[in-house]
Structure 1
Amino acid sequence: MVTILIVIIVLSFIFDYINGFHDAANSIATIVSTKVLTPFQAVVWAAFFNFGAFFISKYLVGGFGIADTIAKSVTLAKGDPLAMYVVLAGLVSAIIWNLITWWFGIPSSSSHALIGGLIGAAVAHYGTFGVVVAAKVVPIVLFIFMAPLIGMFVAFIITVIIVHICKRGNPYKTEKWFKRLQLVSSALFSLGHGSNDSQKVMGIIGVAMVASHYIPDLKSIPDWVPIMCFIAMGLGTLSGGWKIVKTMGSRITKVSPLEGVAAETAGAITLFLTEHFKIPVSTTHTITGSIIGVGATKRLSAVRWGVTVNLVWAWVLTIPVSAIVAAITFYIIRLFA
């Protein structure tokens, strides 16, 4: 049991690392596409604030509510010797989906891959959807669509307000100021990204620790777990995800420094809001919606809807595909366990 726990913890940190470079584009796509920072400078900037989110969550927010939501998304029977395999299968499935979507440059959700994996493995083991905690999972599924819509709406409003305020300003000076402001908006979004995504892995490790009787309950997770989760996320972001940067930074719509500020600020607001309500959301969905909202202020044709539709399909398929892969993985693990 201890060996499996160690494997799960190691894989969790690997997943967090992969999540970091897979989702690096979320924090840096607009700041790179507007040439405010070089790609290397941008990932260092984002990674620093990814890790800094640990202190925001622990000391300002006062806890890790998203981790708790993830951990309680399925019900694992106490004393079940196969509960650890459920967690392991869900994690392996999420890693597989992340790597596939990264390879093809698709900005899908690491968060929903993790949720789908956990649900698929649990249902495969217990043979019933009754193990899925609807009160936790339904809001997560709803926010597959709500998060980008909120980001889109907030970005649209912010962009309209900024354009109205700056319409009589000197274009050169205005662009110069917004390039500086993009450093701030990118930092805010990176804080939201680090806090939201690092906590998801904390929830998985927490479930495994409880199932293995290493800790009595989720409130007893040792401090080194969140610290390592945030470090792994930061290191992953340092590695970058250049294929997805291209999709996010230019293929959806062309973004200026002013629009980059609006998109990142809207994304950050959405992430902080959902963290307050302890709802795990996809930072990918959020920033995509924000970029679309910015593009829509110019004209709807400024958004490349063909690219956007393909992204939405990837979002919709993430949970069911991850669940199916996790179920198959669970059966394979059980054969050799």
Structure 2
Amino acid sequence: MNYSVIVVVVVITALAFDFTNGFHDTANAMATSIATRALPPKIAVLISGVLNVVGAFLSVEVAKTISNGLVDEARITPVVIFAGLVGAILWNLITWLLSLPSSSSHALFGGLIGATWAAAGTGAINFGALFSKVILPAIASPLVAGIIALIATYLAYRITARVDQSTTSGGFRVGQIVSASLVSLAHGTSDAQKTMGVITLTLITAGALPSSAGPPLWVILACGLAIGLGTYFGGWRIIQTLGKRVSDIQSPQGFAAEVSSAAVILTSSHMGFALSTTHVATGSIFGAGAGRRLASVQWGVAGQMAIAWIVTLPAAAVVGAVAAWAVSDGGTLGTVVVAVVGVGVAAGIYVASRRRPVNADNVNDVPSVPEPVAARAA
């Protein structure tokens, strides 16, 4: 089937977003396993990358939500989707530079909604689906995952209270390999679908697929490989934040957090909810921290993350809207200008990141969070 140049450009841009999604969200699966040294950093991202590819083939329900639910595909064009992707990619890179685990999913939704709003007005946005499938899960998911992880952590310590600590730590580290792998599988199932949905939406707006179509096999494969490759590159800055700045994570907590995240993500994916794996994983890690000692959790870091979460969707929407205005009024030249500016900003962010490089060799170098005297006395 012949595709126009702009459709090809949008598909490539979508896969670029998928790649940033992979390295931005590697921490969701592997931060605690790396922090507790259950897995060596490079082995962890390799396992996670492979399982992200596998997970991409498990479901397409979330992809259908995006391609057929959030916006009116009859009122937008592939150029508008391109503009939305630019907004999502730039926000992903900015939050990666700042070491903040914000939601790649909400960056994507924000960019797409902002571009659609600018190009076709509010009537082209399904606000009902946006609330029920995106906003409501965004509020509920970290709370649910955190509560589950808190309870699981409490039970893990109570059940193993009389067992030798070295024995329990070794057992939980083995368990972490399994649980982290499940989260990686769940991430591929959930997040790869979002890019599948965007590419499918592009093909629908270009007339290459009927309005009710699901993602073709080549789209599933391409999205799985892109997110897997991004995951393998490792978002070390965010891994460092979730693994070392939230709490002094021990093996039982890491296991509880990962099992809780996997359960919530896999369940929601098969129900078609476009859940943020970042929100789920972060909620689980805070819950696991609170399940051992409430005072050991760095709630100031939680505040920074919450601000990033709140800002993500509207910030990406603004960038997407500006990009949509530029490409709509400037035609082909506008599209080229937006692409060049986007690449330039991305290159600038990468250069800035080299001032404080974080990689597999120093990802665990941040000192563990000190345990307060009051907590030790308890």
TM band (smaller chain): over 0.9
Report the counterpart of residue 254 of structure 1 in structure 2: 248
- Is residue 68 of structure 1 aligned with residue 61 of structure 2? no
TM-score, scaled relative to structure 2: 0.84
SS of 1:297's equivalent?
Answer: helix
Query: What percent identity do the matched residue pairs reach?
Result: 38
Write out per-residue CA displacement over residues 147-190 of structure 1, whole angstroms, 9 at most, x where no aligned residue: 11011011011112222221111211111111111100001111
| Per-residue Cα deviation, 1:223-275 (whole angstroms, up to 9, x for no partner) | 11011101111100000011101100010111111110000000001101211
In the alignment, is the contact (CA less than 8 A) between 2:33 and 2:180 conserved in 1? yes
Matching residue of 1:313: 307
SS of residue matched to 2:58: helix
The Cα of 1:218 is off from its aligned counterpart by: 4.1
Match status 1:274 vs 2:276: no
Rounded to whole Å, the distance in 1 between the matches of 2:71 and 2:190 is: 22
Counterparts in 2 of 1:1-337, with a 5 A limit? 2-57=4-59, 64-76=60-72, 78=74, 83-127=77-121, 129-139=122-132, 140-219=134-213, 221-337=215-331
CA offset digits 1:45-98 (Å, max 9, x no partner): 1111111113433xxxxxx110111123433363x5x52221111111101111
Distance in 2 separating the partners of 1:50 and 1:77 = 28
In 2, the alpha carbon distance for the partners of 1:221 and 1:187 equals 25
C-alpha contact 1:74 1:122 (8 A) present in aligned 2:
no
One-letter amino acid of the counterpart of residue 306, structure 2: V
- Secondary structure of 1:23's counterpart equals helix
User: Do the aligned partners of 1:148 and 1:289 also contact (CA within 8 Å) in 2?
Assistant: yes
> Do 1:76 and 1:83's aligned partners in 2 also have CA atoms closer than 8 Å?
no
For residues 11 and 260 of structure 2, the distance between their equivalents in structure 1, rounded to whole angstroms, comes to 33
Question: Does the 8 Å CA contact 1:94/1:117 hold for their aligned counterparts?
Answer: yes
What whole-Å deviation, never above 9, does each CA across 1:124-169 have from its counterpart, x for those lacking one?
1123x22221232102111222111011011011112222221111
Amino acid at match of 2:87: S
CA distance in 1, matches of 2:37, 2:269: 30
- The count of residues paired between Structure 1 and Structure 2 equals 328
Please tell me whether the aligned partners of residues 154 and 292 of structure 2 are also in contact (alpha carbons under 8 angstroms).
Answer: no
Amino acid across the alignment from 1:249: G
Q: Distance in 1 between matches of 2:291 and 2:196?
A: 38
Cα distance in 1 between the residues matched to 2:20 and 2:259: 25
Q: Work out the CA distance in 2 between the residues paired with 1:308 and 1:156.
A: 16
Match of 1:60 in 2: none
**Could you tell me whether the CA contact under 8 Å between 1:74 and 1:118 is conserved in 2?**
no
Give the 3 Å change call, closer, same or farther, for CA 194–221 of structure 1 in structure 2.
closer
Pair 1:281–1:220, CA change in 2 (3 A): closer
Give the distance between the partners of 1:303 and 1:77, measured in 2 at CA: 44
Alpha-carbon distance in structure 2 between the residues aligned to 1:146 and 1:42: 29
Gaps of 5+ in 2: 332-378
